[in-house]
Structure 1
Amino acid sequence: MKTNKNTVLKAGAAPFAVALALVSAPAFAQQAAPQADAATETNEPTAIVVTGSLIRNPNLVQATPVNVTTADQIALKQSNTAEEVLRQVPGIVPNIGSAVNNGNGGSSYVDLRGLGSNRNIVLLDGQRIVPADLQGRVDLNNIPLALISRVDSLTGAAVTTYGADAITGVVNFVTKKDFAGVDLAVSDQLTEQGDGNYFRADVTTGVNFDDGRGNAVLSLGYQKSNAVYQGARDFSNIQLDSFSGTAGGSGTTAPSRFSINGGNRQIDPTTGFLKTTGGFNAFNFNPYNIFQTPFQRFNIFAQANYQLSDAVEVYTRGLFSKNTVKTIIAPSGLFAERMTIPFSNPYLPDGAASQFCAANGLTDAQCVAARAATDPTDPNYRTFNTVVRRRFVETGTRNSQFTTNVFDYSLGFRGALTKTVNWDVRASYGESDRLQTITGYVLKSRVQDALLATSRTECLSQNDGCVPINLFGPAGSITPQQAAYTLSPSTTANNTSLLQVRGLLSGDFGFTVPTASEPVGFAAGAEYRKYKAVQISDTLSKTPGELGGAGGAAPDINGAYSVWESYGELVAPLVSDKPFFKSLTVEGGVRYSKYSVQGGKKTETWTYKVGGSWEPVDQLKLRGNYSRAVRAPNIAELFTPNTTGLTNLGQDPCSGDKPLKSDVLKAVCLAQGAPANSIGQIQDPTAAQANITTGGNLNLNPEKATTYTVGAVVQGLSFLPGFSASVDYYNIKVTDQIGTPLPADLISACFGNLTAASATDPACTIIRRDPSTGGLDGSPATTKGLFGGLTNQGKLFTDGVDVILNYQRPIGAVKWTLNAVANFTFHSKFKATPSGFDRECVGYYSVNCSFTGSIQPRRTWSVQNTFSFKAMDLSLLWRHQSSAKQEPCNAVEPCTTRAFNGTIPADSGALSGQAVNFGKIDSFDYLDVTTRFNVEQFTLTFTVQNLFNTKPPIVGNTIGSTAYNSGNTFPSSYDALGRRFAIGARVKF
């Protein structure tokens, strides 16, 4: 058996090696593999394994709790991406992934414990890989799932092992090692309704060479998925307002709406007049949106190792992935854009012209003359300004294509320095290039050119291709030629890179504590990381308001920072094989980090951990750890210039007649930029989306966090052979949180106490309204909306319990295997400012409780029962999610914003007449069934996901954030696709 390779660790043996397992790719992880991969035999005692597989389970042998998802579980579920695997792990809150359409930036992320996807680290074989965005997050779409042996999710106590920024923990994808042979796999999935096809094919080949001194593995993969439209499901084809229960939609609609006399009026194409009331026909955008984003990926993963000598081994790894994610949302248009229109516009109806003339103080004679003046040099030529809301249904959907190319290469050397000390030196470099190409977005400047026309055949600007446009007719009045002129593709490119170098010494000191049998172990190391990130946008993308419905400009960003780190860890076995002390071990670690920000300041931080485990008897282990962590601000948080985008806000305190009833409120609304004639007519943000201005801050300090876990492991019971269980409590508290207050917090800071409110209060005057309509939505060029600057004022907190059960026993000729994982989350709190509201979000949903991801239930569990008989396996996977309800009334969000509870009115499609309560979601259960046949080297797998075709809860489309509350439900948390069938075939030889 070769030195430092394929070493099996028994429970209670080599405790330091186990504790440091994830520092340098654990020994048990390196050798663990499916049966076909095991080629090296040892004389070591049998190691603790996950029942039903040969994947070694670190949760049972180390002090830090780890949740393990095995390759066999992934295969039985027929999961296609790493994000899909993690989305259904209890304790992980769904983040951006394939179920997020409006808000998906082309990558998928993991969010451990619901504290944000930027507060955990994603590793591949214990090593960082290049991030995909300016926030330093790893895109899960690039993980080579075909070669994954298991997925370890570790909570807390990872700061000295992996880096100071592992606040909530790490997710480590462990690949198969020393693979030899060929593995061909192909699968295909389809929903019961015949859409959402998902095809995947992988080939993996490996070889041992030079009498086993070396091994090389190459894995190639391809996958492609199709869109599932919300219009193809009866519960989502009509957008429902969460607070009225009526069929709603966007105020950017067709026919057009125009601002006049401080209000907004929709034109009536049959009469040519603007309606005299504020009513309008909302645009139903749901049918255009999708539940599953189209995805295509080509990936290559290769790794090799070679024993150069008895003391030196070289190892290398290369990853390349090209993936394409597409998002599809409803048609573009003018989303409250201020436009200039001549009274002589050829498409302006006489009725509307007379209304605009009166609103602009023109006499009848002046109006007639202005209508006839077609030459700007004519003294009678006049124009008027108005805010236009018009959905360009004629241009089709808004489409974004995110094409990402990633490569990440690593080279290292390791070996034995002495009989008890090993060394490991490695370096890696990776780059991620993502190009966003958007089409179907109308250009504000071109629409303005086309509106200035005084002839139906020629534009005044004489711009190439300009065609006068008709914004005054019904949907369909914009001709193909007119529509074509308004469109032009636009691009934004993101490039990130990560250079890292690391050196590590690990082993033991060669001596033991007198009462122990194992030596005191140690690890000491240093590493250097250099992050760079650039965002480059074309002129269209970085011009505020130019792209109709793009949600804000994409500014150019260029930033970098580096970090030097050194660290050390100790594990000291104190007692071994004594009465009530089968083992007692303590451990500790410390890490020093020095950050240097390009153009900014240098920061030094210290993090540490202490922990230990006690085995009073063979069958019981008690464990616990405590750590102090920090998270330095990422490139986006440091370098992004102030930019106006979108946030979610359902109700505006200045809307309707509320300002007319309070002089204080009226004064505040006026101080925020609302014109006087808009008071009493201001409308709530269309589609519950308001403008917000945010940006980076070079003066940010690192976040601080304290985490601890305590738990117990039970295994090896004589009366229950094959059983193991662990129960762990976790507690994570983040202070000096880098973030911005939630929309409700920003509103409450000004409007929370009207008796004390002041029109000169900075919390009020920093909110800037549309200068024409007074609303909080509108063109980002003129309406800055709320202001959410990044600060270190926030606090985050979560705690809960994880339970893991494994059991295996024969029932006659059948082998029964049980794997169960449960999470019970007690709290998930966010306090934006020291004087702000301490918001609790476990089991609740609202716009504000979507600050990091989708819904976080109080209880989730996953129970898999697999029955194996000869060449056949039958697996049943039960997934449970506890009930949820709308965030309760509090000091920030008054009870007037309660969800609809009643009967859905008519004209709401298949949901008409149903009794609903949008403020409550019952508990949900899903059952997946898999049948697998194994015939020699051939495996055939049939899976039915969501066997009972359980439909998602209906809560309307405006009660949560746009990213996660879509299609009248929360598609990241609940299955919106329905029953799906998957078939997979695999050949090994």
Structure 2
Amino acid sequence: MAGIPLLSPMAAFAQTAAPPEAPSDPAAEVTGENDAITVTGTRISGFTAPTPLTTVGQAELESKAVSTVSELLDDVPQLRINQNIGKSSEPIGASNADLRGLGTQRTLVLIDGRRVGFTDPAGTIDTNIVPVALISSVEIVTGGASAAYGSDAVAGVVNFVLNKNLQGLRLDASYGQTIYDDHRRPSISGAYGTSFADGKVQLTVAGDYLRNSGQTSQAERPWGNRQTALLTNPAYTPTNGQPRLIISDNARFSQMTAGGVLTRANGLALAQRLGFPTGTGVQFGPNGQPIPFVYGTNIGGTFMTGGDGAQVTDEGNILPEIERFTAFGGIRIELSENLKFFSDFIYAKVDSLSDLTPNPDNGNLTIRNDNAFLPLALRSAMAAAGLTSITMGRIHFEDELSRFESTTVSRRFTFGLEGRFGGSWTWDVSGQISRNDYDQLSFNNRINNRFTLGLDTVVNPATGQPVCRALLNNPNPSAAQDPYGDLRGCVPINPFGAGSISQAALGYYRGTSYLRSRQEQDVFAVNLSGSPFSTWAGEVKVALGAEYRREQTSLRSDPDSAARRWRSVNAQPFDGEFDVKEGYAEVVVPLARGSRFAENLDINGAIRYTDYELSGGVTTWKVGANYSPFADLRLRATLSRDIRAPNNFELFSRGNQVINAIVDPRTNISRQTVQITSGNIALQPEKADTFTGGVIFTPSFLPGLRASVDYYRIKINDAVSVIAAQSIVNFCEEGRTEFCAGVVRDPATQIISQVNVIPFNADSLKTSGVDVELQYRFALGGGELNLRGLANYVAELSTTSNGVTNDYVGLAGVAPPPQGVPEWRVNLDATYSTDTWRFGIGYRYIDGGKFDTRFNITTLDIADNNISGRSYVDLSASYKLNTAIELYGRVENLFNVYPPIAPNGITQPTIASSQFFDRRGTFIAVGGRLRL
């Protein structure tokens, strides 16, 4: 697909017909008559760069009836839009662009050729902030572009081109929802542009609003209501042929119920003394009375199949709720024939909401034999067994769902001058100020110390009422002994029976944590381009420039988070800042034109020197060539050195907490474990070597046909990597001692209590593959038929660390970064249009693969490691009532194809966790457009 623009019909035809030296491009739609056309991937105008480029044009924007950038780019096989649907440690609802599956931080996002500031403290960019109403095209460089644009363009560039020369009024309103009568999406957008003062002043304004109701209950889908989870197999040994893991329906918690349940060791022993049936455990029913707990099969540390345990899988998220508003205002003033002033301002506010399970305790609550709420029958059974304490688990539905609300506010102000002189020379100077705020509120969080104090209760001998043991022992604690007031305000907690926790107790330990961050970016740049002289084959063109950039992140959180007192998140305050100074040069040298051996031959080279305040200087470069032996065929190739410097979060963050399931290889038992992720000031820039080579065929004997094939290979050295907590534990047990420092085990029980995760410069990250496009457009029956096929084949996506290589091609389940990509993605489209009607049908194929590509290599890790691919059919249509009004509709996933089942390993598993497959089901959108 690389290098084959997905253009509007007229633009695409013009590009096919144009000679190599003057390619037509969709960018022409948004530039003035005398403006030079510069396509993403090069700083030189009027030049077809050898770097692969894909363009989504205006026709595709309208035919897809899109309201979000993620919908717009779903059909680009090389690109994945990652959306967080409920991980508390990541920005909720954010949609991040990820080229080649190399990670969102390695895809540079631009608006009108200028980089976009980070929208959250993790150093990613939420594409929801882009004003959809004004997008004219999206240009995607599917290869390294650091020499042209600087840091982060390792996997490529996504450039949103805005229509700033709009004339007239555009309004678009639509409504969409699924066939399940949920995930409702009303949206409205508008844009207006006008010029005056004899066309010397251009004003453009735009705005759009969208509300996505989301879907926070996967049980609303037939594929999501079977309570599916990833279980450990208690019968597994390395030599008995049993699988280590099982994907099972009807999964229940083995150590958690709404009223509480004793852990199996305690429960089996005490159930007999209580007279319960053999093999049952002990749970707590109405009024906290002990009743039998029936175990299922495949009993693990978190889940089992069947039985009496609780389950919260039904409420797992499909999509978050999102409300978005964006606004744009811009002005362009022609000060003279060769001098223009420009300025624009973008404002965006994105509110997102998602939820997770109520606060769980998976068998880790300790109850002493003198607990004030302990049922008398159980107290007697403990005495008879000689037990002074028991352990139990509970999911605290009284706490209500953990809700995560995030707000992103983005403000971007750009200004500058541009001009021309000497016929072919152009220049510009510009400044860009970005101030992006990110806030996250975590409702119904729990202060662990207060919960622990309130749980440990005894009977106050003076009153005969329950009282916190610590408060009874120290009724007048000093400020030094009780800095947070935990003791003075301690409220007894009754854990026995559903609904047993009082409102007073909830008010004591439950609350709202928050983090607030600001991401600042200042960019000042100067660019110069033109032709200093000509060769026998045409003009030599050069571009020169310099840039200064400052990146700053400041994060603040509530005092309890700073002290790590909450059960989850506990964002740690930090400040980080660095500046970057850069200078670049690019040249195009034509070597042949219209000769006997070459219709066209040119060489393109670029070099950039970047001086990072923290890590010193780095040089990036690119060399490429276009060669057309005859007019119908063009060969192209590029070789480049690209870089990505670590961002402020990777460098300076002081630790973010999340609780996930970790399987201990020593016992094959899964437990909810604290994971702390922090930064590493010693990180160095990544260095990537990229090669692309391809062929474009536009046969003159078959007008309208265009085909291309491009090969790519990217190898990143010193890649900044975060090894997943589970992998750190596994590597330590496999004898790789360098990882053992991150695994914290309880000294007495040797149970894993915490895993520390930090980024480091891994050995390498590699990917390679092939992009293919075939496009054919021809007249048919008074209209035009456009056929297009796009495909991406991935041969390798691997990481190598400490001599161990893992390949993630075909990874369709859950795994640590990189998340994995299908081996094949194929998109086929057919569109028939007349002056009044347009009909379209699309076919999408996403290859399957393995739940985890690292499984079933040396041991039988999972019962069935295979995940099948999926095919989707989409329909679209539009009808023009007149020249001003158009009605349209679109149906996505026409046959309501279910996603493959691939649960992740958390307390509330997402059953279909892959980002590539549709979870919504059939989605229908209708709307109308007004053009005046």
TM-score bin, normalised by smaller chain: 0.7 to 0.9
CA spacing shift, 1:962–1:90, aligned 2, 3 Å: farther
Q: How many equivalent residue pairs? A: 853
State the identity as a percent: 27
SS of aligned partner of 1:441: strand
Q: 2:412 aligned to 408, 412, 415, which one?
A: 408
Distance (Å, rounded) in 2 between the aligned partners of 1:101 and 1:784: 17
| 1:907-946 equivalence runs, <5 A | 919-935=865-881, 936-946=883-893
Q: 1:237 to 1:486 in 2, by over 3 A?
A: farther
The one-letter code sitting in structure 1 at the alignment partner of 2:636 is: R
Amino acid paired to 2:671: P
* Aligned partner (choices 641, 645, 669) of residue 628 of structure 1: 641
Could you say which residue in structure 1 is the equivalent of 2:7? Answer: none
Matched, 1:298 2:325: yes
- Distance in 1 of aligned mates of 2:134 and 2:85: 21
Distance 1:870 1:310 in 2: 38
State which of 248, 257, 278 in structure 2 corresponds to 1:245: 248
- TM-score, normalising length: structure 2: 0.85
Tell me how far 1:441 sits from its aligned partner.
2.1
- Name which of 482, 490, 501 aligns with 1:478: 501
Partner of 1:193: 180
Deviation at 1:330, TM superposition (A): 1.7
**Distance across 1 between alignment mates of 2:311 and 2:683:** 42
In structure 1, C-alpha distance between the alignment counterparts of 2:49 and 2:914, rounded to whole Å = 36
Structure 1 position 491 matched with structure 2 position 514: yes
Aligned Cα root-mean-square deviation (Å)? 3.3
Pair 1:32-2:29 in alignment: yes
Partners of 2:372 and 2:457 within 8 A in 1 = yes
How far is 1:485 from its partner?
Answer: 3.9
Q: CA deviation at 1:484?
A: 4.3
Does residue 148 (structure 1) correspond to residue 115 (structure 2)? The answer is no
Q: 1:63 to 1:12 in 2, by over 3 A?
A: farther
The Cα shift of 1:652 comes to: 1.8
Shift of 1:840: 1.0
Contact persistence 1:644–1:784 (CA under 8 A): no
1:873-903 Cα shifts (integer Å, max 9, x gaps): 1011111112222335669x75232134xxx
- Do 2:649 and 2:679's aligned partners in 1 also have CA atoms closer than 8 Å? yes
Match of 1:672 in 2: none
**Alpha carbons of structure 1 residues 937 and 77: separation in structure 2 relative to 1, 3 Å:** same
Cα offsets for 1:327-380 (capped at 9, x unmatched): 1112124456666x5644331123444566688876xxxxxxxxxxxxxxxxxx
Match of 1:670 in 2: none
Per the TM alignment, residue 435 of structure 1 is displaced from its structure 2 partner at its CA by 0.9
Q: Is the 8 A contact 1:442 1:547 kept in 2?
A: yes
State the 1:846 CA deviation.
Answer: 4.6
CA distance in 2, matches of 1:845, 1:482: 43
- Aligned position for 1:586: 603
Residue 145 to residue 467, structure 1, CA distance change in 2 (3 Å): same
Kindly indicate whether the alpha-carbon contact (under 8 Å) linking 1:648 and 1:847 is maintained by their aligned counterparts in 2: no
Q: 1:844: how far off?
A: 2.4
Match among 818, 826, 829 for residue 852 of structure 1: 818
Match of 2:238 in 1: none
Aligned-partner residue type, residue 683 of structure 2: L
How is 1:789-804 mapped onto 2 (pairs within 5 angstroms)?
789-804=758-773
Cα distance per residue 1:208-233 (max 9 Å; x no partner)? 11111121110011110112221211
Q: Describe the shift of the 1:499–1:443 C-alpha distance in structure 2 as closer, same or farther (beyond 3 A).
A: same
Counterpart mapping for 1:380-399 below 5 A: 389-399=393-403
**Equivalence map 1:698-713=2 (5 Å):** 698-713=681-696
- Asked if 1:454 is matched to 2:458, the reply is yes
Give 1:480 deviation, angstroms: 4.4
Q: Secondary structure at the match of 1:182?
A: strand
1:272 aligns with 2:290: yes
Taking structure 1 as reference, are residues 505 and 457 closer, same or farther at Cα in structure 2, changes over 3 Å only?
A: farther
Cα deviations by residue, 1:384-443 (Å, 9 ceiling, x for unpaired): 6x7653211122211111011110000010101322211110001011111111112233
2 CA distance for matches of 1:725 and 1:101? 44
Tell me how far apart the structure 1 counterparts of residues 678 and 32 of structure 2 sit (CA, whole Å).
Answer: 55
The CA distance in 1 between the partners of 2:641 and 2:776, in whole Å, is 35
Q: What's the offset of the Cα at 1:13?
A: 6.2
For the residue of structure 2 that corresponds to 1:718, the secondary structure is coil
Compared with structure 1, are the counterparts of its residues 610 and 805 closer, same or farther at alpha carbon in structure 2 (3 Å cutoff)?
same
Q: Is the 8 A contact 2:587 2:605 kept in 1?
A: yes
- 1:825 corresponds, among 778, 791, 794, to 794
Q: Which deviates more, 695-704 or 273-282?
A: 273-282
Counterpart contact for 1:395–1:440, Cα < 8 Å = yes
Cα distance in 2 for residues equivalent to 1:773 and 1:232: 41
Pairing of 1:653-692 with structure 2 (within 5 A): 653-655=665-667, 683-686=669-672, 690-692=673-675
Distance 1:207 1:744, change over 3 A: same
2:542 maps to which of 522, 546, 559: 522
Distance 1:103 1:164, change over 3 A: closer
Residues 888 and 319 (structure 1), Cα distance of their counterparts in 2 relative to 1, 3 Å cut: closer
1:714 partner amino acid? F
Equivalents in 1 of 2:576, 2:202: separation in Å?
39
Deviates more, 1:236-245 or 1:312-321: 236-245
CA distance in 2, matches of 1:746, 1:256: 32
Corresponding residue for 1:93? 80
Q: CA offset at residue 157 of structure 1?
A: 3.6
Whole-Å Cα distance in 2 between the matches of residues 101 and 762 of structure 1?
A: 28
Change (3 A) 1:702 1:274: farther
SS in structure 2 at match of 1:895: coil
Partners of 1:239 and 1:967 within 8 A in 2: no
Q: How big is each residue's C-alpha offset from its partner over 1:506-558, in whole Å with a ceiling of 9 and x where there is no partner?
A: 1111x2222x0x211101110000000011111233343x434x2x4211121
Q: 2:774 aligned with 1:805, yes or no? A: yes
For residues 247 and 867 of structure 2, what CA distance do their matches in structure 1 show? 17
Structure 1: distance between partners of 2:360 and 2:913: 26
Aligned to 1:230: 218
1:719 to 2:731 alignment: no
8 A Cα contact 1:152 1:171, kept in partner = yes
Q: Post-superposition shift, 1:238? A: 3.5
Return the offset for 1:774. Answer: 3.9
Give yes or no for the alignment of 1:842 onto 2:809.
yes
Please state whether the residue corresponding to 2:718 is helix, strand or coil.
strand
Tell me how far 1:301 sits from its aligned partner. 1.1
Matched, 1:531 2:551: yes
Give the AA of the match of 1:947: L
Q: Distance in 2 between matches of 1:195 and 1:737?
A: 41
After superposition, the Cα gap between the structure-2 partners of 1:354 and 1:642, relative to the gap in structure 1 and judged at 3 Å, is: farther
- Cα distance in structure 2, aligned partners of 1:180 and 1:112: 34
Structure 1 unaligned residues grouped into runs of 5+: 1-5, 19-26, 50-57, 363-383, 657-682, 777-782, 901-918
Offset of residue 766 of structure 1:
4.6
- The structure with the largest strand share of the pair is 2
8 A Cα contact 2:812 2:848, kept in partner: no
Q: Distance in 2 between matches of 1:947 and 1:103?
A: 32
Amino acid at match of 1:240: T
Q: Aligned to 1:440, what secondary structure does the other structure show?
A: strand
In structure 2, the partner of 1:547 is 566
Q: 1:881 aligned to 2:838?
A: no
Equivalent position of 2:276 in the other structure: none
Q: Given that residues 575 and 585 in structure 1 are in contact (C-alpha distance below 8 angstroms), is that contact kept between their aligned partners in structure 2?
A: yes
User: Structure 2: 5+ residue runs without aligned partners?
Assistant: 1-10, 40-44, 231-245, 270-280, 301-306, 476-486
Deviations 1:784-804 (A, max 9, x none): 23x433221331111111112
1:11 deviates by 4.5
Amino acid in structure 2 at the alignment position of 1:949: N
Distance 1:528 1:342 in 2: 63
Aligned-partner Cα distance in 1 for 2:32–2:521: 35
CA distance 1:275–1:252, change in 2 (3 Å): closer
Match of 1:907 in 2: none
Distance 1:174 1:48 in 2: 11
Q: Could you report, residue by residue, the CA deviation over 1:289-317 in whole angstroms, capped at 9, with x for unpaired residues?
A: 22111000111012221110112101112
Match of residue 303 from structure 2:
none
